[in-house]
Structure 1
Amino acid sequence: MLKHWPPLNALRGFEAAARLGSFHKAAEELHLTQSAISQQIRSLESFLEQPLFFRNGRSVALTDAGFDLLSTTQSLLQQLAVGIRRLDQYRKPNQLVVNTTPAFARHWLVPHLADFHRRHPQVDLWLLTTDETPDMATQTIDIAVRDDLSAQAECSLRVLLEDRLYPACHPGLLELPANARTTLHGEREMDWSHWQVQGGADIGQQSQGLNFSDPGLLLDAASQGLGIALVSQLLAGRARDQALLVPLTEQTVRGPNWSWLVHRDSEGDPLTRSFCTWLVEALEKQAVRQMIPA
């Protein structure tokens, strides 16, 4: 990385002059004098120790180095402009930033968001999905809802639901012999070794098969008939309602705890309270409606 960078104004002046083919037109576009543009470009050439323009009276043309730098500068300025515009989302008066896992977002939260939006249309919800647990102290997040949370400073932690796991597959696989079904494997709590340690029945699972690091993709694969999987009772609810998954046994075992972290600065905010109240009610309704006997 460079220890010293050319001034941003010099790069803007260079880009405008190179794009427009004129120092005079660049000065008009940037509301500067032509002398100022010339000085910016001279300082940039001095910094780079090579000319960027051929000068012939009032006519200017890019050198090979100038053409190369123009491409880089335009890309840099465009990314910077996009990044600055994106910062506007942090100033929205009714914005609520919710962090969760991709699996929870896709298989539970997004399918329920219409109900939340109908009840609270004033909330400008920003759903931020990450594989890693967020650092609430350094990230702009009001509430995190995940199955991998632990206590963090200046945040309140609440366990919302104790999930259960059970083996399931697409109805079309039920016609196959148990030993002919592909076994789908996951990470963390979503693995067959956990099922066996917890006393789960042998339903033909095998050590080989297809492997997934994302519980959401594991659930997608099972719903599409790729094999049998150990799935989350919470996340698989919609797939069961749509007859895409059926349990292979009525037995379930302990799964992860779904919890929330609410930052101290957001606890008293009406938007946060609205979301938290709605979330608890929605989870409780699903737990009652889709409870599977252990």
Structure 2
Amino acid sequence: MLKHWPPLNALRGFEAAARLGSFHKAAEELHLTQSAISQQIRSLESFLEQPLFFRNGRSVALTDAGFDLLSTTQSLLQHLAVGIRRLDQYRKPNQLVVNTTPAFAHHWLVPRLADFHQRHPQVDLWLLTTDETPDMATQTINIAVRDDLSAQAECSFRVLLEDRLYPACHPSVLELAADARTTLHGEREMDWSHWQVQGGANVGQQSQGLNFSDPGLLLDAASQGLGIALVSHLLAGRARDQGLLVPMSEQTVRGPNWSWLVRRENEGDPLTRSFCDWLTEALGGSCGALERSGRG
């Protein structure tokens, strides 16, 4: 990292003059005087301790160093412009930022977002997926819905649903001999050791196989027939309804708790309230199915 940087205005003046091949045209484009452009480029050359242009009367041409710097400067200015334009999303009047895990977004939330948008078209929803639990105090997030949350300061914490886990696979895998089935391993509660500790029956799982850190990818792999996996009842509902997954046992065991964190300052906000009410209602059907599963 450089200790000292040339002024941004000097780089803009250089880029315009180099691209247009004229100090005069650069001055017109940037609404400056030609003298100001010349001064910016002289200061940049002084900073770099080498010439960037050959000057012959009113005509100018880039030196080799100038050609080199032009590509770097254009890339820098383009990235900066994109980054600045992207900031517009933070000041949209009806924006609601919802954080969740990639697995929950892909397998549960996104398939239901059309219903939310139809009911609340005024909400400009920004779905922010992260593997790491967010820090609500330092990040611009209104609501977090995840299975790895605990209470945080200045936020309302609520457990929404207690998940259940069960072993499952694609129907084609059931046709294989038990010793020919690949075992798919996850992390945390999706690890087969959790199934065993909770008293789960042996369904032919092996210690070796394929390993996944993302429960969403684990579920995808099982749905595509790669092997047997311990899956979330909540996340696997769609795949099961589509016939891509079948349970290997009627038994289920305790899974993670799905919870939300809502900034207290946003609790009374109509946008936040609309999403929270919709989410509670949408999870209601899943709660009933999970309760029946838990009794099984």
Is the TM-score greater than 0.5? yes
Question: 1:151 is matched with which residue?
Answer: 151
Q: Give the conservation status (yes or no) of the 8 Å contact 1:250–1:292.
A: no
Q: Please state how far the C-alpha of 1:105 moved relative to its aligned partner.
A: 0.2
Q: Please state how far the C-alpha of 1:103 moved relative to its aligned partner.
A: 0.3
Q: Give the conservation status (yes or no) of the 8 Å contact 1:99–1:127.
A: yes
2:64 & 2:126 partners in 1: Cα distance? 45
Q: Give the conservation status (yes or no) of the 8 Å contact 1:184–1:212.
A: yes
Q: Please state how far the C-alpha of 1:267 moved relative to its aligned partner.
A: 1.2
Q: Please state how far the C-alpha of 1:153 moved relative to its aligned partner.
A: 1.0
TM-align CA RMSD: 1.1
> What is the CA deviation profile of residues 10-38 of structure 1, one whole-angstrom value per residue up to 9, with x for unaligned ones?
00000000001100000000000000000
> What is the CA deviation profile of residues 110-165 of structure 1, one whole-angstrom value per residue up to 9, with x for unaligned ones?
00111111111111100000000111111110000000011111111100000011
Q: Please state how far the C-alpha of 1:177 moved relative to its aligned partner.
A: 1.7
SS of the residue 2:98 aligns to: strand
Q: Please state how far the C-alpha of 1:170 moved relative to its aligned partner.
A: 0.4
202-211 or 260-269, larger mean C-alpha shift: 260-269
Paired-residue identity, %: 90
1:249 & 1:289 partners in 2: Cα distance? 16
Alpha-carbon spacing, 1:293–1:250, altered in 2? closer, same or farther (3 Å): farther
Q: Count matched residues.
A: 291
2:290 & 2:170 partners in 1: Cα distance? 23
Alpha-carbon spacing, 1:222–1:290, altered in 2? closer, same or farther (3 Å): farther
SS of the residue 2:160 aligns to: strand
Q: Please state how far the C-alpha of 1:249 moved relative to its aligned partner.
A: 0.2
| TM-score (normalizing by structure 2) | 0.96
Q: Please state how far the C-alpha of 1:265 moved relative to its aligned partner.
A: 2.0
2:273 & 2:201 partners in 1: Cα distance? 42
Q: Please state how far the C-alpha of 1:188 moved relative to its aligned partner.
A: 1.6
Structure 2: gaps (5+ residues): 284-288
Q: Please state how far the C-alpha of 1:291 moved relative to its aligned partner.
A: 3.9
> What is the CA deviation profile of residues 156-179 of structure 1, one whole-angstrom value per residue up to 9, with x for unaligned ones?
110000001100000111111222
> What is the CA deviation profile of residues 221-240 of structure 1, one whole-angstrom value per residue up to 9, with x for unaligned ones?
00000000000000000000
Question: 1:172 is matched with which residue?
Answer: 172
174-183 or 134-143, larger mean C-alpha shift: 174-183
SS of the residue 1:290 aligns to: helix
> What is the CA deviation profile of residues 76-98 of structure 1, one whole-angstrom value per residue up to 9, with x for unaligned ones?
10011001111111111111000
Superposed structure 1 runs of 4+ greater than 2 Å apart: 287-294
Q: Please state how far the C-alpha of 1:292 moved relative to its aligned partner.
A: 5.6
Structure 1: gaps (5+ residues): none
1:290 & 1:24 partners in 2: Cα distance? 77
Question: 1:260 is matched with which residue?
Answer: 260
Alpha-carbon spacing, 1:168–1:288, altered in 2? closer, same or farther (3 Å): closer
Q: Give the conservation status (yes or no) of the 8 Å contact 1:237–1:290.
A: no
2:154 & 2:295 partners in 1: Cα distance? 38
